[in-house]
Structure 1
Amino acid sequence: MRQALAEQPHCISPKFFYDAAGSALFDRICELPEYYPTRTELALLDRHAEEMATLIGPEADLIEFGAGSATKVRLLLAAMQRPRRFVPIDISAEHLQGAAAALRRDHPGLDVHPLAADFTKPIQLPPMADGSRPQRVGFFPGSSIGNFSPDEAVGFLRQAAELLRGGGLLIGTDLVKDPALLHAAYNDAAGVTAAFNLNLLTRANRELGTDFDTRQFAHYAFYEPRLQRIEMHLVSRRTQTVRLGSERFQVMEGQTLHTENSQKFTVEGFRRMARQAGFTPGTVWTDPKQHFAVHWLAAPL
């Protein structure tokens, strides 16, 4: 947070949204009528889970990046052939443990091994109990890859290609579409996305001792067509001073804290990015309206 306040423009990673409260708010966002990505991707997984499971193969070691509530993976696990293990990775440890406990109850024969970690950094997976090395397959739904800059996205994919060597990655991407539909998805009528955005400041106050007045910041999200991305900001309603430890930072009226990008992709554009990172793109599943895509990427041997 200090770097975000000290540098111009003010910018912070969206990974800091996800404390327990932020994760719960995101779960609510996924249920909103305006937020099409979740229900569209769930429909694709429901319709094509068996095809995806065939590509994954039997007895796989399944790793989910940014698992959250681990809702979507249930459709995949139900179709998979004797999965050896499921490793959900998420930065929000409390939320992750709850999701893992629910999966253990519903899949008593499955080895569920949650890993509280920042998956944007190199991951060291725990060894299998029997010392074996089954085929590793990654699962990265929700188009969370869109939160990265293009260079960061390629960097993550390269890291994933190395981790999953000999296996593959099943990944969701939100597609370029009508800006009005995108605007509605990030500016819901119930104000849940605004609460999610503002919770970042509430978390900073609680964990870092800052004194943000959340009433003096407004949620602002818009589509930038030249960059093909949604940008999410918190706009200062007035000139104000924010305390962090012994330091004071002035935020001018109208200045923003840039909290998230959500990149939108074309199918072919993403396949080019995957090739650049070392994957071999395979099957792509899209919905009839071409709102969302799920890609199978084969990892290098």
Structure 2
Amino acid sequence: MARQAGAANADFGAHADGHRFTLDDRLPADHLANALRSDVVEGLTASPKSLPPKWFYDARGSELFEEITLLPEYYPTRAEQQILTRRAPEIAALTRAMTLFELGSGSSRKTRLLLDALTAAGTLACYAPLDVSPSALEQAGAALIRDYPGLRVAATVTDFEGDLSLPPRAPGPRLVAFLGSTIGNFDAEQRHSFFTALRHTLSADDVLLLGADLVKDREVLVRAYDDSQGVTAEFNRNVLNVLNRELDADFDPDAFEHVALWNEEDERIEMHLRSRTAQSVKLPALGLSVDFEEGERMRTEISVKFRRDSLTEELGRAGFTVRHWWTDEENRFALLLAVPSR
């Protein structure tokens, strides 16, 4: 479907049913192509080499990630779902949110627990997802306005890593959800910048709902990112297919093996692709040739795991006060509510 024009001036008030979904596209047409080129040049010419995890998620990568969430070893999705199932009515009662923002919403499926609870509480007027994918937003928006007859969906196509400004006319109080422990993909400096930028966009009545995976047994963590069926390995190598397609590169995905390891010092899982042989890869679209030594690793993701005290302190330094902290029954994952500090 085509991106809707003119939605940047959309009103957040009442709309006729035919206009309950709008899409504000903030990204230039070449934004993702330019961002990919920049990230690949920076990452593959660095030592050690790395790529940001956001490039996993082409159509095939998104399919593989959905498979990962169903694997017995991958607990985060189920654990967060368990907390939301139990706590969504409480979250709705505490926040009384009229607008639910979601950062990196994708398909918005998990969010339905919050939408149901806020609708039942009688406060919700608008759901405002932010994502880089217009097609994901359009598909989710069509489903939501069908299933929630009174709901207004005001979607924004943006890269929230660089643009965290929330539409100012969204009715408050506002609940900003950042789920799935995506915050774990940021290192400490990136997290501080992110939390600080988000704090500056929120008013005194707004609330942050944050999902965070917790530190736990090393073997449990590693298995979650290196499953017995090899789905995560295929997901990891698929980023090379993205580079081949988008940059005319000649990576051989089978020449790299998937590695997941626990970094004890930084308390994070790291995913790498390790070169099976000495090889040279060409990326003609960038005028770049990259050499890999046998056994050389290229990091493709970090997934930081958190402790309650240190995460609370991090949020405090950025101007947030944690009001509520919930975990699943096995204390694997946390959802927290944080408000702007007075």
**TM-score normalised to structure 2 length:** 0.83
AA partner of residue 8 (structure 1): S
Q: What is the deviation of 1:169?
A: 0.3
AA partner of residue 210 (structure 1): A
Residue aligning to 1:191: 230
Residue aligning to 1:24: 63
Which residues of structure 2 form unaligned runs of 5+? 1-39
Task: Specify the SS of the correspondent of 2:142.
Answer: helix
Q: What is the deviation of 1:40?
A: 0.8
Task: Specify the SS of the correspondent of 2:303.
Answer: strand
Residue aligning to 1:71: 109
Q: What is the deviation of 1:133?
A: 4.1
Is 1:33 matched up with 2:39? no
Kindly report which structure 2 residues correspond to 1:1-301, keeping only aligned pairs within 5 A, or say none: 1-58=40-97, 60-80=98-118, 81-126=122-167, 128=169, 133-166=171-204, 167-245=206-284, 246-300=287-341
Task: Specify the SS of the correspondent of 1:113.
Answer: strand
Q: Is the 8 A contact 1:27 1:69 kept in 2?
A: no
Which residues of structure 1 form unaligned runs of 5+? none
Q: 1:247 to 1:287 in 2, by over 3 A?
A: closer
Give, in whole Å, the separation in 2 of the partners of 1:164 and 1:29.
Answer: 34
AA partner of residue 183 (structure 2): I
Task: Specify the SS of the correspondent of 1:197.
Answer: helix
Give, in whole Å, the separation in 2 of the partners of 1:96 and 1:34.
Answer: 29
Q: What is the deviation of 1:101?
A: 2.2
Give, in whole Å, the separation in 2 of the partners of 1:271 and 1:125.
Answer: 24
Q: 1:100 to 1:27 in 2, by over 3 A?
A: farther
Deviations 1:75-107 (A, max 9, x none): 011001331211112223333332222222211
Q: Is the 8 A contact 1:18 1:91 kept in 2?
A: no
Q: Is the 8 A contact 2:237 2:273 kept in 1?
A: yes
Superposition RMSD in Å: 1.6
Q: Is the 8 A contact 1:63 1:136 kept in 2?
A: yes
Q: 1:79 to 1:30 in 2, by over 3 A?
A: same
Q: What is the deviation of 1:161?
A: 1.4
Alignment identity in percent?
42
Give, in whole Å, the separation in 2 of the partners of 1:205 and 1:163.
Answer: 38
AA partner of residue 251 (structure 1): F
Task: Specify the SS of the correspondent of 2:290.
Answer: strand
Task: Specify the SS of the correspondent of 1:270.
Answer: helix
Q: Is the 8 A contact 2:125 2:150 kept in 1?
A: no
Task: Specify the SS of the correspondent of 2:242.
Answer: helix
Q: Is the 8 A contact 1:61 1:86 kept in 2?
A: yes
**TM-score normalised to structure 1 length:** 0.94
Q: 1:190 to 1:93 in 2, by over 3 A?
A: farther
Deviations 1:93-134 (A, max 9, x none): 333332222222211221112222211112343454xxx642
AA partner of residue 64 (structure 2): L
Q: What is the deviation of 1:241?
A: 1.1
Deviations 1:22-78 (A, max 9, x none): 2222122111111111111101100111111112214x2211111122122100110
Give, in whole Å, the separation in 2 of the partners of 1:97 and 1:189.
Answer: 35
Give, in whole Å, the separation in 1 of the partners of 2:329 and 2:138.
Answer: 36
Give, in whole Å, the separation in 2 of the partners of 1:64 and 1:160.
Answer: 12
Give, in whole Å, the separation in 2 of the partners of 1:289 and 1:36.
Answer: 10
Q: How many residue pairs get matched?
A: 297
Q: What is the deviation of 1:299?
A: 2.2
Give, in whole Å, the separation in 1 of the partners of 2:202 and 2:71.
Answer: 34
Give, in whole Å, the separation in 2 of the partners of 1:88 and 1:261.
Answer: 24
Q: Is the 8 A contact 2:96 2:123 kept in 1?
A: no
Q: 1:21 to 1:293 in 2, by over 3 A?
A: same
